[in-house]
Structure 1
Amino acid sequence: MQSLHPLRRALPLAALFTAAAMPAIAAAQVAPLPVATLGGTRLDIVATGEVARAPDIATIFAGVVTQAPTASAALAENATRMTATIAALRRAGVAERDIQSAAINLSPQYRYGENVPPVLTGYQASNQVTIRFREIKRAGTILDALVQAGANQINGPAFSLDKPAAALDEARTAAMALARTRADLYARAAGMTVRRIVAISEEGEQTNQPRPMMVSMALSRMEKDATPVQAGEQTLGVTVRVTFELQ
């Protein structure tokens, strides 16, 4: 009788071990995670913690809008005035890296009337830049420099925090403290006590600040003193949802 090769005899045995191991692996993959069970009363609290900080970044959006009978003339005049605007920003101390083009647009202009086709009257060119700087007290000087250089679209300044992480963490701590205070209040009102925290989730961050100041050519006046600008404070908040167990 011919004997089987050792490898051929080993293969069915290996297959048997593999087949036996598969149910265990599959069971391990689909095993449900443990779920916390409540032995008492469930209480869900939503709380928001807030902190106030003085902003350290100012952003101004400025642009030049020009109109001319032809597209090339509108673009040429716009380029001249925008070049003067950027030069004024540099003289005011704004770094090159803090001046960024935001939008360039050229569009035809029409005159409309009743029962007549539109009549082309010329072209409008616009060029907008974003200016960002840290010396917030110089915002008024920079605004005046923009107007004097020929910028006729100005929106700002908008104030923000460069690194808000630490302030947001403080708001998270305040939110958790407020949630626990409210849980204790509800527990006392119900004649119970807080046993433990079952779950915590963060529902979002928010930043509240005044709307940017609008500056128009008609209202701007070049005077000896710079345009007054007050940065005020910025409020940052974090909202959390905390589930407690009462007993």
Structure 2
Amino acid sequence: MKTRWTLLIIVVLAASLLAACAGTAPAANQPIRQINVTGTGKVYVVPDIAYIYIGVRSQADDVATALGQNNRQAQAIADTLQRQGIAAEDIQTTAFNVYPMQEYNQDGTPSKITYVVENTVFVKVRELQKLGEILNAVVEGGANTINGISFDVADRAAAEAEARRLAVEDAKAKANEIAGLAGVTLGALQNINVYSSGGPMPVYEAKGGMAASSSVPIAAGQLVIQADANLSYEIK
């Protein structure tokens, strides 16, 4: 009889222990409550480099004539760029095309085939105050296509670092603000991601300095370098 009572007590204790474990298990698996915020940092800089695509397009009744014309114009442009102080390493050929062009009469019937030669170079201008003068000079030297003028900063490292710092500070401020509004307390930082939002972007409303009045008017304006930060905090 005594043995039966002992076994019964053991079974009851074991069942109680299992029930207690089952009752506390879900709490251990509960997800951590978090606040997720995104911050943005922007730094405005004045560009000191310009990029230009300068090209020559020639058209003639035969390939040899079109090619000869194009070569002479391209060489004249190269000489002009050198006289303007553009280093050889800042001039790069990006496209050279030769193709036939079908021409038509006014009634839509084919008339003849001519040949087109295109030569395009990518030019980096490091003296922005001379940009308008350079554009004038290459057009006078024979360039008949100029595309994609864009601006950049030679050394972005300091501006990018400052943009990242501002992004993190902005995210931290937002997290504290949201926690205060919600009546909770921030815990440990759980996760952080900081990334750049691409290259410098132009600020279109900015008023940049203009080139000399005798040259092509160019406004460099300002560029904005942006970074974003995603932060996740535990809620205590």
Same fold by TM-score, threshold 0.5 exceeded?
A: yes
Q: 1:172 to 1:210 in 2, by over 3 A?
A: closer
Q: 2:49, 2:154 within 8 Å by CA — same for their partners in 1?
A: yes
After TM superposition, the structure 1 = structure 2 runs for residues 3-22 of structure 1, keeping only pairs within 5 Å, are: none
Output one character per residue of 1:151-171: Cα deviation in whole Å (capped at 9) or x when no partner. 000124311112212211111
Most deviating of 199-208 and 45-54: 199-208
- The answer on 1:228 being equivalent to 2:220 is no
Q: CA deviation at 1:244?
A: 0.9
Q: 1:137, 1:229 within 8 Å by CA — same for their partners in 2?
A: no
Amino acid corresponding to residue 243 of structure 1 in structure 2: S
After TM superposition, the structure 1 = structure 2 runs for residues 1-247 of structure 1, keeping only pairs within 5 Å, are: 41-111=33-103, 118=110, 120-210=112-202, 225-247=214-236
- Give TM-score, length-normalised by structure 2: 0.77
The equivalent of 1:30 in structure 2 is none
Output one character per residue of 1:135-179: Cα deviation in whole Å (capped at 9) or x when no partner. 111100100001110100012431111221221111110000000
Q: Distance in 1 between matches of 2:146 and 2:203?
A: 14
SS at 2:168 equivalent: helix
Q: CA deviation at 1:114?
A: 11
Q: Could you list the runs of 5+ residues in structure 1 that have no partner in the other structure?
A: 1-36, 213-222
Q: CA deviation at 1:206?
A: 2.4
Aligned residues: 201
Q: 1:112 to 1:244 in 2, by over 3 A?
A: farther
Q: 1:209, 1:235 within 8 Å by CA — same for their partners in 2?
A: yes
Q: CA deviation at 1:41?
A: 2.5
- Give TM-score, length-normalised by structure 1: 0.74
Q: Distance in 1 between matches of 2:80 and 2:213?
A: 17
Amino acid corresponding to residue 75 of structure 2 in structure 1: T
Most deviating of 125-134 and 39-48: 39-48
Identity %: 32
Q: 2:103, 2:114 within 8 Å by CA — same for their partners in 1?
A: no
Amino acid corresponding to residue 170 of structure 2 in structure 1: L
The equivalent of 2:20 in structure 1 is none
Q: 1:139, 1:157 within 8 Å by CA — same for their partners in 2?
A: no
Q: 1:207, 1:234 within 8 Å by CA — same for their partners in 2?
A: no
Amino acid corresponding to residue 161 of structure 2 in structure 1: D
Q: CA deviation at 1:210?
A: 3.6
Q: 1:108, 1:120 within 8 Å by CA — same for their partners in 2?
A: no
Q: Distance in 1 between matches of 2:214 and 2:108?
A: 51
RMSD of equivalent CA atoms: 2.6
Q: Distance in 2 between matches of 1:157 and 1:138?
A: 14
Amino acid corresponding to residue 66 of structure 1 in structure 2: S
Q: Distance in 1 between matches of 2:167 and 2:203?
A: 26
Amino acid corresponding to residue 156 of structure 2 in structure 1: P
Q: CA deviation at 1:203?
A: 4.2
